[in-house]
């Protein structure tokens, strides 16, 4: 068997095209996976931020309701209802306000805590904190099944403009004032 001298051994043009096509498909899949991973990371970061915001709203609500002496029907221009709860605070507390209003005090999409003190017959706002988490919905229900009223707060995250339409979970949390008073209508 004779071998030709000078003949190149290698790949044919067709084989090179097949290899390049396979390589291009592999690179495309890899880049797509990276893009999907970064979108998932951004979505996860957004969702974690929202959960942290909801947790902050719930903890603030529970903190102040548990420190309250009672729920009252109204104080000044604020009335306990579906979007706001007015709480009587105990005397000699460190913050120094007499009443606290929690809920949609200023805006329907924000959870606000407002401390009120009566000075010379006038109600003065002595404390205000609005939490950063935008809420699409917030509602309050007061149940008087037991010795103390149970306040149930339900909130939902607000959908951002341009965000894909999807249902958000309702987050519910319960708290009871420490006194044995009741809500008077």
Q: What is the pLDDT of residues 90-145, one digit of tens each?
A: 876 666 788 999 999 888 888 999 998 888 888 888 888 988 888 888 889 988 87
Domain count, the chain: 1
Does residue 184 fall inside a structural domain?
A: no
Does residue 28 fall inside a structural domain?
A: no
For the record, the structure tokens of 117 come out as 């003190």
How far is Cα 66 from Cα 63, in angstroms, rounded to an integer?
Answer: 6
How far is Cα 182 from Cα 39, in angstroms, rounded to an integer?
Answer: 50
Q: Are the beta carbons of 75 and 117 closer than 8 angstroms?
A: no
For the record, the structure tokens of 115 come out as 């401390």
**What pLDDT does 3 receive?**
57
Maximum alpha-carbon separation in the chain = 118
Across the range 40-47, mean pLDDT stands at 74
Across the range 58-86, mean pLDDT stands at 90
Among 100, 97, 80, CA closest to 151: 80
Does residue 118 fall inside a structural domain?
A: yes
Q: Is the whole model's pTM more than 0.75, yes or no?
A: no
Does residue 6 fall inside a structural domain?
A: no
Q: Containing domain of residue 139, as a range?
A: 35-175
Residue 5: pLDDT band by 50, 70, 90 thresholds?
low
């Amino acid at each position: 068997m004779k071998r030709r001298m000078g003949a190149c051994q290698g790949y044919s043009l067709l084989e090179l095209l097949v290899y390049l096509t396979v390589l291009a498909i592999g690179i495309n899949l890899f880049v797509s996976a990276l893009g999907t991973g970064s979108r998932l990371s951004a979505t996860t970061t957004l969702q974690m931020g929202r959960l942290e915001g909801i947790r902050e709203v719930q903890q603030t609500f529970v903190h102040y309701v548990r420190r309250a002496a009672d729920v009252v029907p109204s104080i000044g221009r604020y009335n306990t209802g579906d979007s706001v709860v007015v709480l009587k605070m105990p005397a000699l507390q460190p913050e120094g306000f007499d009443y606290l209003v929690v809920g949609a005090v200023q805006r329907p999409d924000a959870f606000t805590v407002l401390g009120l003190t009566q000075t010379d017959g006038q109600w003065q706002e002595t404390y205000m904190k609005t939490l950063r988490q935008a809420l699409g919905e917030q509602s309050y229900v007061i149940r008087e099944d037991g010795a103390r009223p149970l306040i149930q707060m339900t909130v939902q995250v607000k959908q951002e403009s341009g965000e894909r339409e999807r249902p958000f979970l309702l987050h519910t949390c319960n708290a009871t004032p420490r006194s044995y008073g009741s809500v008077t209508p």
